[in-house]
């Protein structure tokens, strides 16, 4: 067997049972290494193969962490616009090149000339991340517009040439090392400002004079760095010779981890995937992380309030239940201070995790796959049910758990009755007096829960077969068809976001009506208000109705929808029509998703 074939054989053996050698006997829709990646790995020099992926042991700390803090910060935040994307002008080699909307290019770039963050205190930042319960910190070393927040020798467009005149990242690294906080650098391979990047790509000159030297600086000058969070804007790995980038990083720190953005998204390169501003699906055999904003956008965009407490806790819990991590971003002000509501929310997350972190840290998603009722995590012989939905009569049934429940308790203060038999796992909440974002029930089993295959709980979607009408539509781009399969997308801050339905501005009591040609079984309903989690809470009163005997019957009334509304019915209902009726609004309504399921 020649050397190249032997290396490939050894390398691919890691993936026969999942990304990091974990046997995937119990996954529903498990990750499968795409053909495009396999073909790419097959054609690169075999000497690069040992550098391409972190080992199971090297990424173990990250998988157990569950929560990290992201910070987007650069001199340009004085513009109160999304970092890089708020700048007009050239965006070389990007589909939105030469954008006319935004702050004029030179004005945007010149913000470094007045950058002097007198309130920046790296230790205070890191102590806050610790109080939030975060286990790692990702900081924007360089975003797409090319400004470097460190003392780089590759370009004068860096923090040392500001009035501040000090290496921000050295202060951050020192603070992280002092307080035992894992640290990764966000790094954009594109550099929209640098003349070498504005030439034709791939550019060997750009890579060798800018890209590779900068990576060496980032991995060498700041003590132990735990990895690089790339952001290559979806370009093919040949653009950067990504295997060479990984060799540079891992020759310096063999244990460093990287995300997937050193190649196109469909290749799933790197050590973990990263859905942006959206919750990843249930996936246990390849690590993944949701990056989301606690309030505002990527970078300081004015005094934007933090997302509501319930939203952020449910976001964290839902992600853990799907076996992912949450990387939660804030955009500090230009002076280095952090918005007060963001500080408060991070501290509240920490208080939640201090009480209930045992059900999050170091757990795995499942064995129950999330549904309208909530989600589940497990570790060793314990399973935690995180109840987040509106549960009719506080009673619902999940499929039978194939284990004996030795004991159970409600961690959040409620009382519950649980019966597990051949009819299913029957859960009744006997009191709901505590005002928590989530009810957490701990089950102690007679076996290790990892032996249990993931169990589906959501049922089959039935809205695909329905026709849908609305009381009104704002315009042709806000059509009710945006709630149906195949909806179009809008480009926003570097990603494409599914379009929403907006009723007409004068429509103060809007409604949506689903119809089926024959009687349809319904067990659960979910609604997402707004495209961005935590940003939209316009609904103050609403109801859900079904048509029974030619009359509308209200099955649910509520005061809030938000991003995570769900209704789990105690018993199945049958109808030909379902209506979501808004009775009171504050502001403009935006509905991004509605899903209806039958078990």
| Cross-strand partners of 521 | 574
Predicted confidence pLDDT, tens digits, the chain (599 residues): 333 433 333 333 333 323 333 333 334 667 889 999 999 999 999 999 999 999 999 999 999 999 999 999 999 999 999 999 999 999 999 987 888 899 999 999 999 999 999 999 999 999 999 999 999 999 999 999 999 999 999 999 999 999 999 999 999 999 999 999 999 999 999 999 999 999 999 999 999 999 999 999 999 999 999 999 999 999 999 999 999 999 999 999 999 999 999 999 999 999 999 999 889 999 999 999 999 999 999 999 999 999 999 999 999 999 999 999 999 999 999 999 999 999 999 999 999 999 999 999 999 999 999 999 999 999 999 999 999 989 999 999 999 999 999 999 999 999 999 999 999 999 999 876 666 799 999 999 999 999 999 999 988 999 888 999 999 999 988 999 999 887 777 766 667 778 999 999 999 999 999 999 999 999 999 999 998 887 778 999 999 999 999 999 999 999 999 999 999 999 999 999 999 999 999 989 999 999 999 98
**CA atoms lying within 13 Å on the CB side of residue 468:** 22
Token digits for 194? 């640098």
Neighbours of 167 (CB within 10 A): 20
Count of all residues that appear for the chain in the document: 599
d(CA 589, CA 502): 6
Q: Which helix (H) or strand (E) holds 187?
A: strand 182-187
Q: What are phi and psi of 534, to 5 degrees?
A: 90, -10
493 within 8 A of 512, measured Cβ to Cβ: no
User: Domains of the chain, with CATH numbers?
Assistant: 54-357 (3.20.20.80), 366-451 (2.60.40.1180), 460-598 (2.60.120.260)
Output the CA angle 416-419-425, nearest 5 degrees: 100
Q: In terms of DSSP bridges, do strands 136-142 and 182-187 run parallel, antiparallel, or are they unpaired?
A: parallel
Task: Assign 99 to helix, strand or coil.
Answer: strand
417-426 pLDDT, tens digit per residue, is: 999 999 999 9
d(CA 420, CA 61): 34
My answer on whether omega of the bond before 579 falls inside 30° of 0, hence cis, is no
| Tokens 């923090």 sit on residue | 159
pTM over 0.95: no
133-176 pLDDT, tens digit per residue, is: 999 999 999 999 999 999 999 999 999 999 999 999 999 999 99
């Amino acid at each position: 067997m020649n050397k190249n074939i032997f290396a490939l054989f050894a390398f691919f053996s890691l993936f026969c049972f999942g990304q990091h050698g974990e046997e995937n006997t119990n996954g529903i829709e498990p990750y499968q290494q795409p053909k495009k990646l396999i073909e790419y790995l097959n054609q690169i020099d075999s000497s690069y193969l040992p550098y391409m992926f972190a080992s199971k042991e090297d990424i173990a700390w990250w998988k157990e962490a569950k929560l990290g803090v992201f910070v987007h910060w650069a001199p340009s935040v004085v513009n109160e616009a999304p970092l890089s994307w708020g700048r007009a002008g050239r965006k070389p080699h990007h589909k939105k090149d030469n954008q006319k909307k935004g702050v004029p290019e030179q004005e945007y770039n010149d913000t470094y000339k007045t950058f002097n963050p007198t309130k920046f205190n790296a230790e205070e930042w890191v102590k806050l991340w610790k109080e939030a319960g975060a286990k790692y910190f990702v900081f924007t070393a360089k975003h797409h517009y090319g400004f470097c927040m460190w003392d780089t020798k590759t370009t004068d467009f860096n923090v040392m040439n500001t009035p501040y005149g000090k290496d921000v990242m050295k202060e951050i690294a020192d603070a992280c090392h002092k307080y035992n906080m894992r640290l990764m650098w966000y790094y954009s391979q594109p550099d929209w400002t640098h003349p070498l990047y504005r030439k034709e790509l791939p550019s060997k000159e750009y890579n060798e004079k800018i890209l590779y030297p900068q990576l060496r600086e980032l991995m060498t000058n700041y003590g132990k760095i735990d990895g690089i969070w790339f952001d290559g804007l979806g370009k093919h790995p040949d653009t950067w010779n990504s295997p060479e980038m990984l060799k540079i990083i891992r020759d310096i720190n063999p244990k460093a981890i990287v995300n997937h953005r050193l190649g196109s998204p469909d290749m799933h390169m790197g050590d973990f995937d990263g859905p942006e501003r959206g919750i990843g699906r249930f996936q246990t055999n390849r690590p993944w992380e949701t990056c989301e904003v606690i309030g505002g956008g990527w970078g300081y965009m004015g005094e934007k309030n933090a997302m509501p407490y319930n939203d952020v806790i449910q976001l964290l819990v839902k992600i853990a239940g799907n076996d992912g991590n949450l990387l939660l971003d804030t955009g500090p002000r230009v002076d280095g201070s952090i918005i007060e509501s963001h500080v408060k929310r991070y501290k509240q997350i920490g208080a939640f995790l201090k009480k209930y972190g045992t059900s999050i840290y170091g757990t795995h998603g499942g064995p129950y796959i999330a549904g309208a009722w909530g989600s589940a995590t497990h570790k060793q012989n314990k399973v935690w049910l995180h109840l987040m939905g509106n549960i009719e009569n506080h009673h619902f049934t999940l499929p039978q758990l194939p284990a004996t429940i030795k004991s159970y308790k409600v961690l959040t203060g409620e009382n519950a009755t649980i019966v597990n038999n051949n009819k299913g796992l029957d859960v009744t909440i006997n009191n709901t007096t505590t005002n928590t974002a989530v009810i957490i029930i701990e089950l102690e089993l007679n076996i290790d829960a990892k032996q249990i295959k993931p169990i589906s709980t959501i049922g089959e979607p039935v809205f695909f077969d329905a026709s849908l009408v609305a009381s009104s539509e704002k315009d042709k781009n806000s059509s009710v068809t945006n709630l149906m399969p195949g909806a179009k997308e809008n480009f926003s801050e570097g990603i494409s976001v599914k379009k929403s339905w907006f009723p007409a501005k004068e429509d103060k009591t809007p409604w949506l009506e689903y119809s089926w040609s024959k009687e349809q079984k319904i067990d659960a309903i979910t609604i997402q208000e707004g495209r961005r989690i935590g940003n939209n809470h316009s609904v103050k009163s609403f109801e859900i109705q079904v048509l029974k005997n030619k009359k509308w019957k209200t099955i649910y009334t509520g005061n809030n929808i938000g991003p995570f509304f769900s209704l789990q019915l105690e018993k199945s209902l049958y109808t030909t029509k379902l209506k979501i009726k808004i009775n009171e609004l504050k502001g403009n309504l935006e509905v991004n998703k509605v899903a209806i399921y039958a078990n």
